[in-house]
């Protein structure tokens, strides 16, 4: 997906969007199947959040760099472009929680994803998917239809990306704040 995103043509970027959507949906589906069949494993509790992180990183970093390069072609409402600080917040939380999760696992405590973490992942994926489309639409060579519906959709899409980014940032910070006491209790030797 990263290689497709880094191609400076619309078609590979639209293919990257399709691949990202398939990966995000398969993540939701496999989690649903594991829970509904009672097949939740320790490995799954550790591997699934790591897979989520790889999906996020493999798309967010290229989207950010492309978006910054495309600044003159189209701006996101409120932010202009995806801010660097937002990328740091999104990825920094992932690094921190993953590090704490693996540290806890080394002491025999498995911290599975909580509901807030799962919601955060969904909103992040919606944001990243919408952002992939945003940069694909701004890629030189993409010819938007010359109809009023496209103008409306383009404005709506920009606001959609902005709202999803804001939601992802809020849930990212909130989930980190809610996970930290759990890890604090584990490292203090108390039951999480």
42 pLDDT tier (thresholds 50, 70, 90): confident
Structural domain span for residue 22 = 2-187
Phi, psi of 150 (to 5 degrees): -65, -40
pLDDT recorded at residue 192: 64
Q: Does residue 75 lie in a domain region?
A: yes
pLDDT recorded at residue 135: 93
| Range scoring the smallest mean pLDDT among 40-44, 132-136, 152-156, 171-175 | 40-44
Phi, psi of 109 (to 5 degrees): -105, 120
Question: By the 8 A CB rule, do 25 and 18 touch?
Answer: no
Q: Does residue 60 lie in a domain region?
A: yes
Closest by CA to 161, choosing from 27, 52, 60, 50, is 60
> How far is the C-alpha of 147 from the C-alpha of 106, rounded, in Å?
58
Phi, psi of 76 (to 5 degrees): -80, 140
Q: What distance separates the 2 farthest-apart alpha carbons in the chain?
A: 63
User: What is the tens place of the pLDDT at every residue in 72-91?
Assistant: 766 889 998 999 999 999 99
| Site of tokens 């097949």 | 39
Please check the confidence at residue 180 and state whether its pLDDT lies above 70.
yes
User: What is the tens place of the pLDDT at every residue in 90-107?
Assistant: 999 999 999 999 899 888
Domain count, the chain: 1
Q: Does residue 80 lie in a domain region?
A: yes
Please check the confidence at residue 164 and state whether its pLDDT lies above 80.
yes
pLDDT recorded at residue 15: 97
Q: Does residue 192 lie in a domain region?
A: no
Closest by CA to 90, choosing from 3, 166, 22, is 166
23 pLDDT tier (thresholds 50, 70, 90): very high
What is residue 8's DSSP assignment? S
Q: Region 152-179: what's the mean pLDDT?
A: 95
pLDDT recorded at residue 158: 93
User: What is the tens place of the pLDDT at every residue in 120-139?
Assistant: 999 999 999 999 999 999 99
């Amino acid at each position: 997906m990263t290689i497709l995103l880094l191609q400076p043509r619309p078609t590979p970027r639209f293919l990257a969007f399709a691949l990202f959507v398939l990966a995000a949906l398969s993540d939701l589906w496999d989690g649903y199947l594991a829970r509904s069949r009672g097949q939740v494993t320790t490995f799954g509790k550790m591997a699934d959040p790591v897979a989520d992180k790889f999906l996020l990183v493999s798309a967010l970093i290229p989207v950010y760099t492309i978006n910054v390069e495309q600044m003159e072609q189209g701006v996101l409402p409120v932010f202009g472009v995806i801010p660097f600080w937002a990328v740091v917040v999104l990825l920094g939380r992932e690094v921190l929680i993953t590090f704490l999760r693996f540290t806890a696992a080394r002491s025999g405590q498995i911290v599975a994803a909580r509901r807030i973490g799962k919601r955060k992942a969904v909103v992040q994926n919606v944001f990243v998917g919408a952002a992939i489309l945003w940069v694909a639409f701004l890629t030189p060579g993409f010819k938007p239809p010359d109809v009023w519906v496209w103008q409306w959709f383009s404005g709506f899409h920009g606001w959609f990306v902005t709202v999803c980014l804001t939601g992802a940032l809020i849930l990212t910070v909130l989930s980190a704040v809610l996970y930290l006491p759990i890890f604090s209790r584990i490292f203090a030797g108390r039951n999480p």
